[in-house]
Structure 1
Amino acid sequence: MDRKKSALYFKCLINLNEKGYMTAMMMLISTLLLGFVFHLWNMTQNERVFLDREEEEIKKQTLLVLGMKDTISYIQKTGGSSAEKTFTYDEGTVRAVINASSDVLQITLSATTDNGIRVAASFQYNQMMKQVVEWSEGST
């Protein structure tokens, strides 16, 4: 029984091949397969680009947060006078400019990642309450 099905199957294939349909079917199947492979490759590339951008955003945010924490520690150690300080991390560098006018200090952070992408943030720090009062970000 199994041999009959197999013989019938090959007989149909030989019949299709003799009429010239087999080459067209193989070309169609090959084209569909190559299209699917290209689609998967394109999706992988897009995902890779997206993940690289997300990683860069995380690096920028990390630099700003680390810079803010180290600047606040520096202010608490030195007493809050006007100064300019540079912090270096694995992700990049942060330059902090501290302007002292009263109990509330105005601090401007300029961060540069290892890839050369810059980001800036400014915040106000109340020395009496020992907390950040206002925070704003922007790119440079």
Structure 2
Amino acid sequence: MGKRRNKLVFKCLKQLDDQGYMTAMMMLISTLLLGFIFHLCYATMNERAFLDREEEQFKKHSLLVLGMKDTISYIQKNDVETTEKTFIYEEGTVHAAIQFSPSEVIYITLNGTTQNATKVFALFQYNQTLKEVVEWSEG
């Protein structure tokens, strides 16, 4: 049964080749395969770029949170009126500008730069009496 089927297939292919269709079919199949491969490459590149952007966003957020925590710790340990402090992390560098006010609320500005030279900025208010962040905004 297998030999008859193979003979039939080869007979059909031979007839298509004799009529000039085989070359066109092979070109069509090759074009479709190449198109599919290019599509996969493009999709992989887009996914990689998306993951890189997500990783950078995560690093920016981590940098600001680390800066906030260390600034609050610095404020609790040191008792000064106006000061500036720079913190260096694996993710980048954060510069904190601390402004005390007559009330118990402290105004803090965080300026940072990631390792990829992306700028980050945040403003927050820290209540010394409640020992909590009252307001937070990122730029």
Give the TM-score range, shorter chain. Answer: over 0.9
Aligned to 2:11: 11
Letter in 2 for 1:98: I
**Shift of residue 80 of structure 1?**
5.2
User: Percent identity over the alignment?
Assistant: 64
Backbone CA RMSD of aligned residues: 0.7
Matches of 2:26 and 2:115, distance apart in 1? 51
Aligned to 1:106: 107
Unaligned runs of 5+ in 1: none
Aligned to 2:69: 69
**Shift of residue 101 of structure 1?**
1.0
Query: What's the TM-score, normalizing by structure 2?
Result: 0.97
Matched, 1:48 2:43: no
Structure 1 runs of 4+ with >6 Å offset: none
Query: 1:64, 1:111 within 8 Å by CA — same for their partners in 2?
Result: yes
Query: What's the TM-score, normalizing by structure 1?
Result: 0.97
Matches of 1:50 and 1:130, distance apart in 2? 38
Matches of 1:114 and 1:14, distance apart in 2? 64
**Shift of residue 81 of structure 1?**
2.8
Query: 1:75, 1:81 within 8 Å by CA — same for their partners in 2?
Result: no
Q: Deviations over 1:74-101 (max 9, x none)?
A: 0000035310000000010000000011
